Structure 1
Amino acid sequence: MRLTTTTIAAAAIICAASLPAGAHSYKVGTLEIGHPWSRATLPNAPVAGGYMTITNTGKTADRLLGGTTPAAAKVELHEMKMEGDVMTMRPLKEGLELPPGETVRLAPGGYHLMLMKPSKRFEEGERVPLTLTFEKAGEVKVDLAVDKPDAMGKAPDAHAGHNGHAGQKTGAKSK
């Protein structure tokens, strides 16, 4: 029986190691954070981006206020959007609302985290530690999976890439 238990444990470790590196999720309170990621950066890049989906499965709104990381001097929450014919980017000083029963996607070209003055280059395949701060749910530690420099992100679930609108609230209801 001991050999069987050891064999099962070894098989579980091998299966876990073979899962895609980007497939990771976190939970804090009624919030589910799916596939936090970043792009690989050039040496001495002044900023890096942080992307993910956040689903609020609760009955009340929460708010993403920002975050911290030992990998950068500062983390800011930003929004990119078209104003006429011009793409603008601005910090969200009041944070990002997470309505109950909805998924909000942080993605290139929309809502995103800006990691200001990274302490080193983000290299494809590594993980960058990040602590997210929410108004009601508090803090949660996540890892940003670093993807290719030109990555656009993948929809980790049926809600995240709905209608192909990066960085928008999807309106997907959770049960």
Structure 2
Amino acid sequence: MIRASALAVLSTLTLAACGQPDSSDNAGSVGRVVATDAVCRPTPNGRQVTGCYLSLISTADDTLVSISSPVAALAQVHEMRMESNMMMMRKLETGLPLPEDQIVTLAPGGNHIMLMGVTEPLKTGDTVPLTLTFATAAPVEVTATVGQPAVGEDHGTH
């Protein structure tokens, strides 16, 4: 489902770009990024961290460099990977690469957004505003729904 909606968005962007006259000498150097299927996990009372997941498509090579949200003191892009037979999580210090025209999915058990210092419990059905900042593309405002992610293998509560 994520792939289908992400591909539909990419197709729309591609068709829109084909019909637009070029107004700059360095066309294509700055792309656009579209985010789809954004969801953040609910937080039980007393818990101040949660994971958020979504899919991104960029029309040019770019990097997701930061995230912010008014519902959390801090938001970071994290990766999860196996090291010495243990699942490890760490911040992606240089950001998340977004190759041109490829779907990049943040999902449980893999790359994801961590919200830390969540100010109020997030309940199923709530929404979470996220601002995604990229190396070259304009920032993208996303409204994530609070709920359980529907896809991917779940490796914990992040």
Q: TM-score range by the shorter chain?
A: 0.7 to 0.9
In the other structure, the counterpart of 2:26 is: none
What SS does the aligned partner of 1:138 have? coil
CA contact under 8 A between 1:68 and 1:130: conserved in structure 2? yes
- 2:57 pairs, out of 46, 55, 58, with 55
Checking the alignment, whether the CA contact within 8 Å between 1:46 and 1:116 is kept in structure 2 is yes
d(CA) in 2 for partners of 1:123, 1:139 = 26
User: Please, what TM-score do these two structures have when normalized by structure 1?
Assistant: 0.67
Residue deviations 1:85-112 (CA, integer Å, cap 9, x gap): 1100010011000001211110111101
Counterpart of 2:101, as a letter, is G
Residue 125 of structure 1 and its aligned partner are, at CA, apart by 0.5
Secondary structure of the residue that 1:75 maps to in structure 2? Answer: strand
Tell me which residue corresponds to 1:10.
Answer: none
Q: Over aligned residue pairs, what C-alpha RMSD do you find?
A: 2.4
Are 2:54 and 2:106, in contact at CA under 8 Å, matched by a contact in 1?
yes
- Structure 1 runs, 4 residues or longer, greater than 3 Å off: none
**Percent of aligned positions with the same letter in both sequences?**
37
- The CA deviation string for residues 116-163 of structure 1, in whole angstroms up to 9 with x for no partner, is 11000010011111111111112111111001xxx2334xxxxxxxxx
CA distance in 2, matches of 1:140, 1:153: 23
Q: Which residue is equivalent to 1:131?
A: 131
Partner of 1:30: 32
Report the TM-score, using the length of structure 2 for normalisation.
0.74
Whether 1:39 aligns to 2:41 is yes
Q: How do residues 1-175 of structure 1 correspond to structure 2 at under 5 angstroms?
A: 29-56=31-58, 58=59, 60-147=60-147, 151-154=148-151
Q: Which runs of 5+ in 2 are unaligned?
A: 14-30
